[in-house]
Amino acid sequence: MSAWAVRAQVSPWMVFDVPTDPRAAGLGGRLVAGLEADAHGATYSPALMDSANATRVAFDHVRYFGGLHASAVGYTWGTRRGWTLTSGARFAGFGELNETDDTGQVIGSFSGGETVVQSGVTKRLNDRWRVAGRVVLGLRNVDRETAGMAGLELGMHGLFAEQRLAVGAALTGWGRQIGIDGNQPDGRLPANLQVGAVKGFEHAPFRLHLRLSDLQTWDLAPEGTYDPLIDPLTGEEIPSGKWAFGDRLMRHVGVGTELLLSDALAIQVGFDYRRRAELNANGRTGTNGFSIGTSFAVKQFQLRLSRNTYHFAGSSTHLALNIPLSAWI
């Protein structure tokens, strides 16, 4: 029996936790604000949907360790009377997993994955502000375990062009899982409340990105992170040495810089503190939490590529393509 079958609570869905967009990944995580339209970022932050992406198709893909992979596709239909309609889908695959009996002996293997379809609208309130919402419906399958989900994602975005400043907020992954087959439980999915900002400069070819995520929960550190250590010889307590407030605060923070080399070429560098703090092995961190990416355009086609370090053992690669639908017809 697999470990998935005995979980007593709803586990996070990979399609909501893992951004496939290379530009967002290169800047340290999801995008919540942008100075221009971004169909790839809109897959994860609804308020980034914009009519400038109309009739363009955005594809994303990333392959992780152990056969894990994720993909996304999105399409912007266009704008009418201030409303912009988009639709798309996200996919995640768990690769091949071992099936064991009650004694822990491997008796076979199975696969699993998640699929979510989504459709949403953006409403422009004025020259600066827009709001967005979308419905998401999904299905998760792991061997003989099946669960469905239904949810809602919300967003708000403000663009202050004269100051080269954009701000945004998003509530994503807000929904409920429904057990269909096997022992998959019913329950609420863990939502993610995020805010972000990006600042450009008139005479400098770069932008600064700031993202705060999981704001609905203050303490994201695993239990016991700040507990004192015990000296094995004397039994005395040794302070952990961690600044609890600062560590808790930084686990919400992701930062990035985007260097604009030309209208068609940009380079992104990002850092995610929480990833670096959690994905270490016996104190070995290497370049955990750091990421780098690039985006460039060739005629009507837009390409993106990024590398992210999630563990000192290696990195993952994100790929994306954005094309006009007319190129396919």
SS3 (DSSP) at 257: strand
Torsion of CA 309, 311, 317, 322, to 10 degrees: -60
In the Cβ-directed half-sphere of 202, how many Cα atoms lie within 13 Å?
3
Specify the amino acid at residue 290.
F
The contacts of residue 3 (CB under 8 Å, 6+ apart) are none
Handedness of CA 48, 216, 19, 196 (dihedral sign): positive
pLDDT tens, position by position, 47-89: 988 777 778 899 999 987 667 889 999 998 888 888 899 999 9
Domain 3-215+252-327 bears CATH identifier 2.40.160.60: yes
pTM of the model: 0.85
The neighbouring-strand residues paired with 3 are none
pLDDT band at 235 (very low <50, low <70, confident <90, very high): confident
- In this predicted model, what pLDDT tens digit does every residue of 167-192 receive, in sequence order? 999 999 999 999 998 888 899 998 99
Q: Are the C-beta atoms of residues 138 and 149 closer than 8 Å to each other?
A: yes
Contact status, residue 121 vs residue 143, Cβ threshold 8 Å: no
The 10 Å CB-count burial string (b at 16+, else e) for 68-82 is: bbbbbbbbbbebeee
Give me the percent of the chain exceeding a pLDDT of 90. Answer: 48
Which position has the token pair 């340290």? 28
